[in-house]
Structure 1
């Protein structure tokens, strides 16, 4: 029997093991990260998806649905119901673009903008929870962005 050159990767032809899969490491880490965010976002009364939309709008208010979707890698069919719920929660407004009725402009309400200050505390809490240095977190983020970009080219 041929020995496996790397204990974490199966030899060619072997049935893959769950704990050796990059996809599972990413998936289970994402679940853990979302669980932590759910806990932290509870006091802001935001879901993780809503938090992502808010971050995009805190960076630049008044964007089209398609601009927000591009930043979050979401299509409008996924984003529209989320935005409707956020509008009902008085986090943002949705208005038709006067120059192009097909486009919808998303803008923060005063309530949505005010959450920015509470949300500013979250990154430190997340970094502390990782038990990594800031440099390690930044390095992992850069590696994941590169991985995402490579995978999207092949998807």
Structure 2
């Protein structure tokens, strides 16, 4: 995939359907254009469908998007799309409902795994790429447990 080939209008909304309900988030293409394009492309390709939220840290974050969580191809928490994205750090803060890309110690190692903040986490500001914000379903985010499946992740055009 070439993220530069993905057309992003800025009106897209991610719709994550889980057994606990629906989570919707808007994107920040001005802050993280390549991360937004990558997430949209992966979602449209069905990459996230069937993956789980494999990490839940109460009062902090939920994390998912590892293909190993549905394929068993390797340890959960280590998988990705087969490419890494260069960091797109910005001044967008980590607030409740912030959506950002998880990564390893290398700033340029983000792939498909993302997290959603359960509370403000200012100590992460400027160190992880923020690319969206929950606009609906924060109650679902807060109820998420380890192993909850993302039944589908779709991209809709916003209003």
Q: TM tier, shorter chain?
A: under 0.3
Q: Compare CA radii of gyration and give the structure with the larger one.
A: 1
TM-score by length of 2: 0.27
Query: Per chain length, whose mean CA-contact separation is higher, i.e. which structure has more relative contact order (CA < 8 Å, sep 6+)?
Result: 2
- Where is the helix percentage greater, Structure 1 or Structure 2? 1
- Where is the strand percentage greater, Structure 1 or Structure 2? 2
TM-score by length of 1: 0.27
